[in-house]
Every structure is written in structure tokens, then in C-alpha cells.
A and B are shown apart, each in its own frame.
Chain A
Amino acid sequence: MASVTFDHVYKRFGDVVAVNDLSIEIADKEFLVFVGPSGCGKTTSLRLLAGLEEISEGNILIGDRVVNDVPPKDRYIAMVFQSYALYPHMSVFDNMAFGLKLRKTPKSEIEQRVKHAADILDIGHLLDRKPKQLSGGQRQRVAVGRAIVRQPAVFLFDEPLSNLDAKLRVQTRSQLTKLHHDLATTFIYVTHDQVEAMTMATRIAVMKDGILQQIDSPQHLYDYPTNVFVAGFIGSPSMNFFDATLVESDGKLEIHAGGFRLEVPEKKAEEWRPHKGREVIFGIRPEDIHSKQFTPPDILESDVVAKVDVTELMGNEIFLYLLTKDNKQFIARVDPRVRVSMGDDIELAINMANAHIFDPKTEMTLDAR
């Protein structure tokens, strides 16, 4: 068990800066998820921590110890790879025992630890098999088992679920959350899937182009995205963005986008008024756009009409692909009882309480926290 600190860490590959001034303090027993699109530096950050890449500048600490020059084997970490990296010539037992054997652990203890890990992961019956005889899900569990038996201070996961099918991924997600709870150890997890990040993390670090965009609890990240990128990346379908101007007329604050005008309810107007007259990027999540017919109570409602372009029925909800008057597409996630077809106009109720405005130049949020 240990905390992990990235202290102004840089990683350069030639002219490319893969990790740019990364500073994070990860508490002991935390489940931190690095998330971002491919090439954002999240895997590189993990590999720097594992010691598989050398740091160009800065310090990485595990506990109180600077590990910049410590070889991977002496960092008290274990890693689960995207490809699982099981040794194909060894049985499941030997795969799990390999690290312990190299560390000259007594045989009886190896057996006991492998058995214990196998019980946790329900792979006890597979110990004699070779990796090629296992299914994807089983391989994934063996890879996790190999990490568990080492009893590391920090677990590292590099996209461990991306080779699993959708159903298994959902199952394994909850198993990993449970495992984190049971082992009470620091987990650091890399994924490009924001759903994985949202469901498992205690905190999420969103990265883009090597730069940490925001690090926060999942709910806070969802509610208060710090910039347009985070707002668009977290949440599915992603937030709708419109170029707009914040206008005050007759004492009422309004959002003027090309294809619609939205009144800003007084409660929200207080927050936004300092920015009146400015051009902004107006952001609203699909789940905050309701059909007027089925408006939930207690929302800061502001109404608008749009034309239905495509409907996608999900059973428990409907995704409406809508068009503003100037033909800009946006998505709403509405009640399944809504009955509309392509080309219809629909009245929408937008929950302005959850609307966001961003500076169009810096793309940073203008919301008051």
C-alpha cells in the first residue's frame, strides 16, 4: 500500500512531448483512472510509473521514495497489460508464480498465495492449463491473478478490458471495483473508455495531448467540467455545444445561438451575468434536454423548438437527433413515451441548471463553481 506522486513529470520522444508537466498526488488506496483519447499520454504516464519508460524531467514517488532510477522490479508494483502478456509457455500456475519464484519465495508460500488469488478470481480449476487454452475473460483474470499474488503496493492496469466483449466488460468492471475494495490497495487504471472511468474510479484524471485537463471525482467531473474537452469527453452521448452570445435585454439574460434563443432563468442568470455581452460556447448535455410533454419537476426550465432529424429508440429512452433552425445537429435523450417522427417539430424543455458556458478562445469554463 502506498501513495503515488507525479511531480512535474515530462516525457519526450524526440520532439514529441508525450507527457507534459504532469503533477498528480494519488492517495493510498485510491482508484485513480487515467482517461483520454489515444495518444493523450495516459499509457505513457502509467509506463513511466512502472519504470518501463524513463522520465525526461520531474520526479515520480511511490510512497516517500523517488523511483526515477529504481528498476521496475524494485518498485513494488504489479501491472496488468492490455494484451495480458501471459507467458505462453507456462501454465496458469507458473504464470502466477513466476514473480514469486524469481524472488525466491518459499514453495509452500507460493502455493498458498497462488491458490488464494485463484480462489478470489475463481480460476482455481484452470491452474494446470496453458494460456492458449483459456478464453479471453479467463486470460484477463489470470493476468489480474498474477498481479495479486505479488501483493504489490500499487496495481497498474493498462486498458485491461479493451479485449473483452461488451457483456464481459460490464461484469469485469464490477469485479474490479470489488477487488479494489477487498484488497484495499492503490489502483491506477488507464482506459480510453469514459464509462469505465466513471463507473470504477474514485478520481478520474482526464488527459489530452500529454496535458492533464482535470482531475476530480466522477460526479464532480461530470457536473463541473473545466473545459470544452472534458465536457465533451465525459458523458455519452457527449454534450452538445453551440456558438452563442450571452445577451441581456429588458433585464433578462438570454443565450442567442444561430438557430435558437434561450432565456436564462434568474437563478442561473445570477451566475452568468458577469459574462453578459460575451461570445460563449454554450454546452448542454443530451440528458438535460427533455420533451416538453414529459418535463421532470424541479428543473430550471427554458423552452425551445427543434426539428426531429433521426430518432433512435433504446427501449428505456429515446435519442433524438435534432436540428436547430440553422441546421445544426444536436442530441436529446428523452422519455421513451415521446412519439415523434422525422421532420416533426418538437417542443423541448432545457434544464438550464445543468447548462454550461465556455470561453470560445481558451475553451475554459465560465461557470462559477
Chain B
Amino acid sequence: MYRNKYRLIIPFLIPSLLIYLTFVIYPYASAMYISLTRWRGLSQPPQFIGLANFQKMLQDEHFWNALGNNAVYLITLPTITLILALFFAFLLTQGVPLSKFYRISYFFPQLMSVVAIGVLWSFVYHPTIGILNSLLQAIGISNPPIWLGNPKTVLGAVSGVAIWQAVGFYMVLFIAAMEAVPMSLYEAAMIDGANRWQLFWKITIPMIWETLMTAMIFIMIFATNMFAITQTMTQGGPSRSSEVLSTFLYDEAFLGSKFGYGTAIAVTLFFIVLAISLTVQRLMRRDTLEY
């Protein structure tokens, strides 16, 4: 009976395997192929041109500009979001009054559509009717920046929204991980002489390390994408100063009808994300903890 278990398992696996091949593997493979072609997306069949798209991409200053902006997000978003999320999670697991209320309110942005958030914050940042500048003027700053209209402030402004939106999610993730740490470890460390700061660094952080690694990968993938927020808030402007790879490829493909080139950028993005995930996993890998 058990010797022949594969005869039973395989027929059951085949349908899901077929679906996976059709809807995941095939599109990926076909994207890989399209990235090697010149294709305007309409009638003409794609014309194979080898690595020409990639060659062009490497010489395209807009590509490097978009990649640079992604790099900025890749540095700012994980650092600030994760530090804030850790900070709030630590606070809210210390028995603060109203902690449930704070948990929910911090998590709230996660429940909203990113498009709604983008639109909402565009209004917050609005130079004349926005609440932010009204507040700044109210406290005596007569010439507040035009947040989304100035190349110097736009990345920061968009980052702020992304962080605002993401912190709650990671906070909840960390709270769950922190609450799973046995209390006796903290008690043992307290008796051993650890203060709060040492408890956090020597017990909490190592004990939630795997969650931290997962969070790091999530937020870095988020930072390499940033499509919806950018598209709804700035469309990459002003003058491409907040353009990221995803909005750049969207413009090239759907506005410029250069599907071959757009797909080449998408494929590059895919490998960037893959490389980041693998690197983070490699760098942060530690023994699985048992307790």
C-alpha cells in the first residue's frame, strides 16, 4: 500500500501542477523571452533582438535614475520602518495602558487601499490646501516646501507615506514574535543583571531574529516596487525625480508601447529582488531557535 503511495499522490498533484505551469511558470518564461525581443505590444509578432534591450537599458540614464531612487528607498524604508516598528512593538508589549487601541490604530493604514492612501496623502502634501503646510504656516513657517513638487523633498515625502503605511504591519508582526518569547528568559536575564536595554538587545532581538529576517525581505521587496504610491502621488515627477523602476517600466511599456524594453526592465527588477532576498537570507541566517 505505502510502497505505491506515489501512484495515488501524483494524479492529485497534476491539476495544481498544470495550473501552476500555466499561470506562473509560463508567464515568467514568456516574459524572459519578450525581454529579448522588440515588440510594440500589438499585432506584429515580437522580433528577437538578443540582449539589445538590456544593452540599451544599461546606457539609459532614466533607468539609472529610477534605480537610484529605488536604492534610496531600499536604504530609508527598511531602516526607518523596522526601527519604528520594533520600537512600537517593544513599547506595546510592556503592558502600556491602551495598548490594544494603539495596535489597531497603527495597523489601520494597512487596511486601506494603497491608491486611497496615495490620494489622501497627495492632499495632505498639497501646497495650498494641504493640512501639512497649513500646520507649518500656523506655527510660523511662512514658506513651507512644495513637498511633491520639489525634487529635493519628493523622495522624502513619498518615503514618509510608505513608512506610515508599513509600520503598523511590521509592528504587529514583531509584537506576535515578541509575545512568543517565554517570559522566563527575560526573568532569568533580569536576575543575571540585564537592564531593559540589554534585555532588548540580548534577548528580544536574537529571539525574534527569524521574524526580523522575514520582515527585512518583505520591506526590501516593497522598496523595490513602490509602484502604487508613486503612481498615485507623483507619477514619477517632478521631472522623473521620484521615478522608480516599476513606474519607469510601466511608462515605457504602456505609454511608449515598448513592451520588449519594458519587460527587460521588469526582468532586471525580478533579478534584483531575487538577489536581495538571497543576500538578506544569507547575511541574516542563524540557527533555528528552539525553546
The reply to whether A89 and B206 contact each other, CB–CB distance below 8 Å, is yes
- Pick out which of these stretches binds chain B: A2-10, A20-28, A70-78, A215-223: A70-78
Distance between Cα atoms of A98 and B191 in the complex (Å): 11
* Closest beta carbon of chain B to A144's beta carbon, Å: 13
User: What does the 1/0 interface line of A119-162 toward B look like (CB < 8 Å)?
Assistant: 00000000000111000000000000010001000000000000
The reply to whether A102 and B182 contact each other, CB–CB distance below 8 Å, is no
Distance between Cα atoms of A99 and B184 in the complex (Å): 15
- Pick out which of these stretches binds chain B: A80-88, A169-177, A250-258, A270-278: A80-88
Contact of A72 among B191, B207, B287, B291 (CB under 8 A): B191
10 closest Cβ contacts across the A-B interface? A99-B192, A85-B184, A85-B188, A73-B193, A89-B206, A102-B193, A132-B290, A88-B289, A88-B291, A72-B191
Size of chain A's interface in residues, with CB distance under 8 A? Answer: 26
Q: A residues within 8 A CB of B189? A: 87, 98
The reply to whether B290 and A81 contact each other, CB–CB distance below 8 Å, is no
The reply to whether A78 and B185 contact each other, CB–CB distance below 8 Å, is no
The reply to whether A150 and B207 contact each other, CB–CB distance below 8 Å, is no
* Closest beta carbon of chain B to A253's beta carbon, Å: 55
Q: Which residues of A in the span 30-88 have a Cβ within 8 Å of any Cβ on B?
A: 50-52, 71-73, 77-79, 81-83, 85-88
Q: A residues within 8 A CB of B207? A: 88-89
* Closest beta carbon of chain A to B262's beta carbon, Å: 45
User: Please, which residue of chain A has its CB at the minimum distance from the CB of B289?
Assistant: A88
Q: A residues within 8 A CB of B286? A: 89
The reply to whether B184 and A81 contact each other, CB–CB distance below 8 Å, is yes
* Closest beta carbon of chain A to B220's beta carbon, Å: 24
Give 6 pairs: A residue, B residue, CB < 8 Å, sorted on A: A51-B190, A73-B190, A79-B187, A82-B184, A87-B203, A98-B202
Q: B residues within 8 A CB of A88? A: 207, 289-291
Interface membership of B177, Cβ < 8 A: no
User: What does the 1/0 interface line of A88-127 toward B look like (CB < 8 Å)?
Assistant: 1100000000110011000000000000000000000000
The reply to whether B203 and A130 contact each other, CB–CB distance below 8 Å, is no
Distance between Cα atoms of A85 and B186 in the complex (Å): 9
User: Please, which residue of chain A has its CB at the minimum distance from the CB of B191?
Assistant: A72
Q: B residues within 8 A CB of A89? A: 206-207, 209, 286-287, 289
* Closest beta carbon of chain A to B139's beta carbon, Å: 42
Distance between Cα atoms of A83 and B182 in the complex (Å): 9
Contact of B190 among A71, A103, A132, A150 (CB under 8 A): A71
The reply to whether B289 and A102 contact each other, CB–CB distance below 8 Å, is no
Contact of B192 among A131, A132, A150 (CB under 8 A): A150
Given contacts A73-B193, A98-B189, 13 further A-B contacts (CB under 8 A): A51-B191, A72-B187, A72-B191, A73-B190, A73-B195, A79-B188, A83-B182, A87-B188, A87-B202, A88-B290, A89-B206, A89-B207, A102-B192
A78-B290 CB under 8 A given contacts A83-B184, A85-B182: no
Q: B residues within 8 A CB of A98? A: 189, 192, 202
A50-B291 CB under 8 A given contacts A83-B182, A85-B184: no
Interface membership of B194, Cβ < 8 A: yes
Distance between Cα atoms of A81 and B195 in the complex (Å): 19
Q: Which residues of B in the span 180-232 have a Cβ within 8 Å of any Cβ on A?
A: 182, 184-185, 187-195, 198, 202-203, 206-207, 209
Q: A residues within 8 A CB of B194? A: 73, 102
Distance between Cα atoms of A77 and B193 in the complex (Å): 10
* Closest beta carbon of chain A to B196's beta carbon, Å: 11
The reply to whether B191 and A50 contact each other, CB–CB distance below 8 Å, is yes
Distance between Cα atoms of A150 and B291 in the complex (Å): 23
A73-B191 CB under 8 A given contacts A85-B184, A87-B203: yes
Distance between Cα atoms of A154 and B139 in the complex (Å): 59
User: Please, which residue of chain A has its CB at the minimum distance from the CB of B290?
Assistant: A132
